[in-house]
Amino acid sequence: MVMTYSDAQLAQACKLGTSTLFEASGVSTSAVDSAIRTVWPGASVAGPAYPLECSPGDNLSIHIAMEKVPRGSVLVISTGGFVAGYWGEVLTVAAEAAGVAGLVIDGGVRDIAALTARRFPVFTRGICMRGTIKASAPSVGQPISFAGTPVAAGDLVVADDDGVLVIPAARVEHTLAQGQARADKEAKMMEALTHGKSTLELMDLTSWRQA
């Protein structure tokens, strides 16, 4: 069963951002390969993962997923790192109609101008005009290894300009709480910096000062 998260939790996750939440998660594998980046600057998304796997150069699994994916989900698509145009404007329109919140794919996408204009959050390994066939569907909705990061349906995906994070469902509440505490602490530190304190002082690193 796919986990659901409240609007408040999703908004908090986006506000805290991937860097803060990664530090708070305590899960080293939760950070996705840094080569997977946003298509357009400023994109951000948070939602339950819906994982699927495509064969290299074949996007049939994506079309099948469009009939199964719960609204509000983030599609997490493994292609084994094979870069091709698995996704473009047509699938973006289909995803919007299905209530999909965003896309994370270790393959490639195309129709970048249209994706940017529609402001659909897409995070990808590459951009490629070459299309795909539709012949096989290795898995849809089942747990996957996404470039080394375990992903199961219902894990919380958070993605922004800093990268992509997958938080195991069982650790979401703890991570959000720890992330908020970290953000509050950093806000106080930045306030102190504006009043003349140094990072050496605030981080108790004064022993490194030169005599």
Residues 188-205 have a mean pLDDT of 85
Q: What is the DSSP pairing of strand 144-146 with strand 139-140?
A: unpaired
Cβ 104 vs Cβ 36: under 8 Å: yes
Supply the pLDDT for residue 2. 58
Supply the pLDDT for residue 210. 62
160 appears as a binding residue in the annotation: no
Looking at residue 172, its amino acid is: V
90 appears as a binding residue in the annotation: yes
Q: pLDDT class for 209, splitting at 50, 70, 90?
A: low
Q: How far apart are CA 4 and CA 7, in angstroms?
A: 10
91 appears as a binding residue in the annotation: yes
Q: pLDDT class for 199, splitting at 50, 70, 90?
A: confident
Number of domains in the chain: 1
Supply the pLDDT for residue 122. 98
Is residue 200, in this structure, part of any structural domain at all? Answer: no
Q: What is the DSSP pairing of strand 45-53 with strand 156-160?
A: antiparallel
Asked whether residue 96 carries a pLDDT value surpassing 70, the answer given is yes
173 appears as a binding residue in the annotation: no
Residue-range definition of the domain harbouring residue 53: 7-178
pLDDT tens digit sequence for 31-41:
999 999 999 99
Is residue 195, in this structure, part of any structural domain at all? Answer: no
Is residue 194, in this structure, part of any structural domain at all? Answer: no
Supply the pLDDT for residue 206. 75
Class of residue 169 by CB neighbours under 10 A (exposed 0-12, middle 13-18, buried 19+): middle
pLDDT tens digit sequence for 41-76:
999 999 999 999 999 999 999 999 999 999 999 999
Is residue 209, in this structure, part of any structural domain at all? Answer: no
Is residue 190, in this structure, part of any structural domain at all? Answer: no
Q: Could you tell me which residues are beta bridge partners of residue 37?
A: 124
Total number of residues shown for the chain = 211
Supply the pLDDT for residue 74. 98
Domain of residue 156, CATH code:
3.50.30.40
Looking at residue 80, its amino acid is: G
Q: pLDDT class for 197, splitting at 50, 70, 90?
A: confident
Is residue 138, in this structure, part of any structural domain at all? Answer: yes
* pLDDT over 90, % of the chain: 84
Tokens of 142: 């089942």
pLDDT tens digit sequence for 129-166:
999 999 999 999 999 999 999 999 999 999 999 999 99
Supply the pLDDT for residue 203. 83
Q: Distance of CA 188 to CAs 25, 153, 185, 193, Å?
A: 21, 36, 5, 9
Asked whether residue 207 carries a pLDDT value surpassing 80, the answer given is no
109 appears as a binding residue in the annotation: no
* pLDDT over 70, % of the chain: 98
88 appears as a binding residue in the annotation: yes
